[in-house]
Amino acid sequence: MIAYLEGELLKRESDRLILLVNHIGYEILVPAFVMETLNSKSLGDSLSLYIYYHQTEHQPRPVLIGFNIEAEREFFQLFISVEAIGPLKAVKALNYPVSDIAKAIETKNAALLKRLNGIGERTAHKIIATLQGKMGKFALLREEDAAETSEAPSEAADSLAEEVISVLTGQLGHKTNEARLMVNSALKRNPSIATPEELFEEVYRGEAINDG
């Protein structure tokens, strides 16, 4: 199974591209939110994508779906767990950034979900019912880097904090100082946090308050 490809951008269309890897061209479907991040790429530029590989008895021809980072692919795998949303429908539906969709799910914002391509009222509520409570991590995804600074981390940066900081920086696109600030603030708000999941939830709550 193909999980990651790195090569040269050979061709680009509205919803797909061809990536040339070791003289082999791979056709890769790309959600709109990913394609928007590739606008600065020119043909011949190097490009790497995390791949969701789809092949079933009903879909014998392999379909490759590309994402910029592993966390986006992980979100996609959860999204297609919703009844009546398969991979091909999900590719067309994801015309908003992952963080916006994740926040809409957590806040039960069906109105935003209905603005996804091909998602109606009933499916929007199915998405919320299936995925609410699982989206805090993805709501923290950074769509672009931000130049921010923070004070030195406190002693709260123990193994628990380091685990969450590692995900924030390695998977979700935050800078180290920014991630430490988010985690330290969460631990100050709730010193009784005992698990990474609890810490993620508290970080997300803090960011939701700041956004509001």
Q: What is the DSSP string of 131-154?
A: HTTS-HHHHT--SS------PPP-
Does residue 46 sit within a domain?
yes
First-last CA distance in the chain: 42
Does residue 150 sit within a domain?
no
d(Cα 105, Cα 103) in Å, to the nearest integer? 5
Does the pLDDT of residue 198 top 70, yes or no? yes
Q: What average pLDDT does the chain have?
A: 86
**Other beta carbons within 10 Å of 93:** 22
103 & 117 share domain: yes
Last-in-domain residue among 52, 67, 82 = 67
Q: Report the number of distinct structural domains present in the chain.
A: 3
Does residue 56 sit within a domain?
yes
Does the pLDDT of residue 131 top 90, yes or no? yes
The reported pLDDT for the residue numbered 212 is: 62
Does residue 144 sit within a domain?
no
Does the pLDDT of residue 152 top 70, yes or no? no
Last-in-domain residue among 35, 67, 99 = 67
Nearest Cα to 34, choosing from 76, 6, 2? Answer: 76
Lowest mean pLDDT: which of 109-113, 150-154, 181-185? 150-154
Binning the chain into helix, strand and coil, the percentages to the nearest 5 are 45, 15, 40
pLDDT in tens, 70-116: 999 999 999 999 998 999 999 999 999 999 999 999 999 999 999 99
pLDDT in tens, 49-63: 999 999 887 777 899
What six digits make up the tokens of 1?
A: 């199974």
| CATH code assigned at 204 | 1.10.8
Rounded to two decimals, the pTM is 0.71
Does residue 102 sit within a domain?
yes
What pLDDT band is residue 160 in, cutting at 50, 70 and 90?
confident
